[in-house]
A and B are shown apart, each in its own frame.
Chain A
Amino acid sequence: MKKLFLIGIKDLKLIFRDRAALIFMLLAPFLLTIGMGFVTGRFSGGSTGLSDIPVVIVNLDKQQLGNALADVFSSKELADLMDPTVSSDPEAARHLIDDDQAAAAVIIPAGFTRSIIPAEGTASNQNFVQPEPVKIEVYANPSRPTSAGVIKAIVDDFLSRVEEERIAGITSITQLMQTGLLNPQNADSEINKLFDNPQQTESTAITLKTNTEGPAAVQFDILAYMAPGMALLFLMYTVSYGGRSILAERSQGTLPRLLVSPTSTSEVLGGKVLGIFLTGVAQVGILILASSVFFGVKWGDKLGLTILILAAVFGATGWGMLITALARAPGQVASIGSALMLIFGILGGSFVNLDQMPGYVRTLSKITPNAWGLDGFTTLALGGTLPNLMQPITALLIMGAILFGVAVVVFNRKGMVQK
C-alpha cells in the first residue's frame, strides 16, 4: 500500500514540475474562465434576470379602466419587475421603443373604458348603440422579446379580469331582468356597481393555491457553470497525460525495471492510476478554489463539493485508463486524449449549455464526466447539498468503475503489465 502511494505521489510531483502540462492543466482553463466572465458580462455587472423592465404608459383614456391599468404598472407588487414612465404622446412613446429606450409602450386609447362600461344612464336609452371595441396597443421592442412578452402578459392579465367582470356582470343582470327581479332602467347602474366592486364577480370556479414555502431563491452565478466547465474540459487532458506516462514508462524501459523490484503488478498499476487520480483532484480542486477566491463564486456545501470533485475525477480517470489500455504508443494516447477532451467538452456542455443543444446531444452527453460533473456543480451553485448530488455522483462512480473494469480486462489481454 505504501509503494502504491509512493508511485502515485511521484507521478503527481512529476506532472506538477512540467511547465508545459501546467499550461494545459491550470493556465488555459483559468484564462478561458476569465474570458467567459468578460464576454458574459459577469465582471461588468451584467444581469440576465428580469427586473426593472422599462415600460412607457400612455393613458389617453383617463377613465376608470385606463387609470386602473396604469396603476397596475406602478403597483407595489410589480415595483421590482417594472420601471414605468408616463407619457401623453403616443408617437413619442413609439419613438422611445424604436430607439431601444424601453421594452414596450402600452397605449390606452381614449374611449377604452366606455367601450366596455357604458356611461350611467346611456345603456337603458332606446337609442343606445354598443360602441366599437377600443383596443389597447402594446408597441413592443423586438430586440427585447422576453421583457415585451412580460408586459403583454400583464396587460392580458388585466384584460382577463376586466372581461371576467364584464361577462359576470352582463350575465347576472340579464338573468335578473329576465326573471323580472331587476328593472331594465336600473341595469347600467348595476353594471357600474359591479365594476366598482369587483369582489362581487371574482372567479370562484377555479381557485389558485400558491405555495412559496420552497427553498429560498438563489441568484445563479454564470461562472459557477463556466469555471467547472473549463476545469472538467482540461481534466480530460490530465487523465490522458497520466495514461501516456504508463506507456512512456513501458517504452522507456522504466516499467519493466519497476516490475523486477519487489513491487507487485497491481501495486505498480494502482500507483500509476492513483497518481492520475491525485493529479486530477489537485487540478480541479485548484481551479474550483481559484473560482471562489478570485471570482467570488459561492459553492455552498463543502462536503458535497469535495465528494463531487472526487467522483468527477474518478469518472474521468476511468476514461484515461481506457484510452491508455486501447492505445499502442504514448503519442496515440495524446492524440486520442486531446480529441476526446474536445469531444467531451462540446458534448458535455463545457462550451455551450446543454439546454441549447439538440436532444440527441443531451442523450449522448450522459457518457461524459463533463455533463454529470456540471450537473452537480450547477446543483451546488443553486444552493444544493450532498443529498441533491446523489444522482451525478452515483453516475460518475458507476462510469469510473465500468471503465476501470474494461481497462483492466484490456490491459490483461494485451499483457501490458508483465514482468
Chain B
Amino acid sequence: MRKIFAIAWKDAIIRFASSSELLFFIILPIVFTFLLAGGTPSGDEDSRIALSVVDEAQTPISQQIITELENSTAVRPELTTHGEAQSEFDDRRAEVVFIIPAGIDIKSLQSGSAQVELLQQPNNINATVAERAVLTAIRRVSSSVSAAQNAVKQRASIQAFASDKEKQAYFQSALELAQKIQKDAPERVSVVTGNTQDQVDYDPRANSSAGQLITWVFIPLFGISALFAYERQQGTLRRLLTTPSNKATFLLGTISGQVAMALVQMLLLVGFGILVMKLNWGREPLALFVILFTSALAAAAFGTTMGTFIKTAGQADGLSVMFGMVFALMGGCWYPIELFPSTIQNIVKILPTTWAMQGMLDLVLRGGGLRDILPEAGVLLVFAVIFFSVGVWRFRYE
C-alpha cells in the first residue's frame, strides 16, 4: 500500500513540478466552462431571419415601420449604417437589406412619394420571406393613408373635385375615418403553441459545466499513456524490475494516483458549477461520486491501453489531446448530442465520453438520482474493465 501511495505521490510531484500545470488543471477549464455556458446555442435565442435595416429617415414613420418589423415572427431587424449594410450585402454576409431613405415622413406618405428599398440576394428563400415581412410592416403603417388616398381616387372617378381645398378636406376626413377603422380593427389570428415534445434537453450552463469537466479531465487521464512512454523511454520502468515491486503495484500506483488527481480536479470544477454557475450538482452526492468515479476509471483505463501501444512520450501527449478532444466533441460535451444526426447519435455510444456526459446530465440537468445514473455508470465500468484488461495484458517494462 505504501508503495502504491509512493508511486502516486511521485506522479503528482512530477505533474505539478511546473506551476503552469495549474493552467490546465483548473484555470483553463473554468475559463472554457464560463465562456461556453454563454456561447453555445441554448435553443432560446432569437431564431428569426436577420434583416439589416438602415434608417436614414429617423422619423416617427420610420420608427413605426421598425417597430412593426420587431413584432414580426419571421424577421429580426438589426439596425446598421448604409455603408456597413452595403458592405455586408456585397460580401454575401447579409441576405437582405431594408433601407428607409431620408424623407420618409407623413408628408411623403400623403403625397405618395414615399419609397423604401429592399436589397435581396437573388434566388434566396430567406430574402423572399423577409420581403413579405417588410410588405406587412409597410402596409400596417401606411394603410390608413393608403385608404384615404384610395377614397380620394374613387371619389374623383365618380365626380371631380371642385378645388384643391375640397380635395384636401375630403382626404383629411377619409384619413380620420380610416385611422379610426384601423384602430378598432380586431385581431384576426391567434397562435396556439402545440404540445410537441422538445427533442433537445439543454441548458447551456449545465451542458458546459459537465462537458468541459469531462474534456479537461479525460485528456490528462488519457495522458497516462505518456507517463508509461516517458518512464519506458527514460529506462526507469526497467529499473523497477530490480526492486521488489511487481507489475500490479506499479500499475495500481500510477493509475490510482491519476484517478485521485482527476477526482480532485472534478470536485473543483463541480464546486465552480455549484458556487458560480448555481448548478444543482450536489443534490445526490452518492450518485455524483459514482458517476465521477466510473468516468475517471473508464478514461484512465483507455489511457492505460493507449500507453501499451505508443512508443514515445511526445506521441502519447499528442494522441491524448487528440483523442480527448475528438471523444469530447463526438460524445456531446461541446454541442448537445440531440442535435447530431440520429445515425451519429447511435454510433457515438461506443465512446466513454457519451456515457459520462449522459450520466452527468441525468444528475445536473434532468434531476435524476442514483438509480437514473446506474446504466451509464455500468457502461463506464464495462469500458474500464475491458481497457484495463487489455492494458495489463499488453503492459511491458521495455
Which chain A residues have a beta carbon within 8 Å of chain B's beta carbons?
18-21, 23-24, 27-28, 31-32, 35-36, 38-39, 41, 44, 46, 49-51, 77-78, 80-81, 94, 97-100, 104, 116, 133-146, 148-150, 152-157, 159-164, 166-168, 170-172, 174-176, 178-179, 181-182, 200-218, 331-332, 335-336, 338-339, 342-343, 346-347, 351-352, 356-358, 361, 378-379, 382-384, 388
Contacts and interface: CB of A to CB of B under 8 A. Distances in A.
A212 B120 contact: yes
Contacts of B194: 94, 97-98, 104, 139-142
A342 B92 contact: no
Contact of A175 (B21, B120, B173, B341): B173
Contacts of B89: 214
Given A28-B325, A384-B91, A208 B188 contact: no
A175 B155 contact: yes
A253 B24 CA distance: 31
B63 to A, nearest CB: 14
B174 to A, nearest CB: 5
11 contacts: A19-B312, A23-B322, A39-B341, A143-B199, A146-B47, A148-B73, A159-B189, A161-B139, A208-B138, A217-B92, A338-B24
A167 B123 contact: no
Contact of A208 (B40, B74, B116, B123): B116
A211 B196 contact: no
B193 A358 contact: no
Main secondary structure of the interface of B (DSSP, over half): helix
Contact of B143 (A136, A157, A164, A342): A164
B26 to A, nearest CB: 12
Contact of A152 (B47, B73, B187): B73
B116 to A, nearest CB: 6
B370 interface: no
Nearest to B129: A150
Contacts of B128: 77-78, 81
A153 B72 contact: yes
Interface in B112-150: 112, 114-129, 131-136, 138-150
Nearest to A381: B92
Given A23-B318, A150-B129, A156 B117 contact: no
Contacts of A133: 186-188
Contacts of A343: 28, 31
B195 A98 contact: yes
B242 interface: no
Interface of B: 18, 20-21, 23-24, 28, 31-32, 35-36, 38-41, 45, 47-49, 72-75, 89-93, 95, 104, 109-110, 112, 114-129, 131-136, 138-151, 154-155, 158-159, 170, 173-174, 177-178, 181-182, 185-200, 312, 314-315, 317-319, 321-322, 325-326, 329-330, 334-335, 339-341, 343-344
A172 B92 CA distance: 45
A153 B193 CA distance: 15
B155 A176 contact: yes
A145 to B, nearest CB: 5
A149 B109 contact: no
Contacts of B32: 342, 346
Contacts of A213: 122
Given A171-B181, A343-B28, A361 B104 contact: no
A204 B150 contact: yes
Given A160-B136, A209-B117, A382-B91, A176 B185 contact: no
Contact of B90 (A51, A149, A331, A388): A388
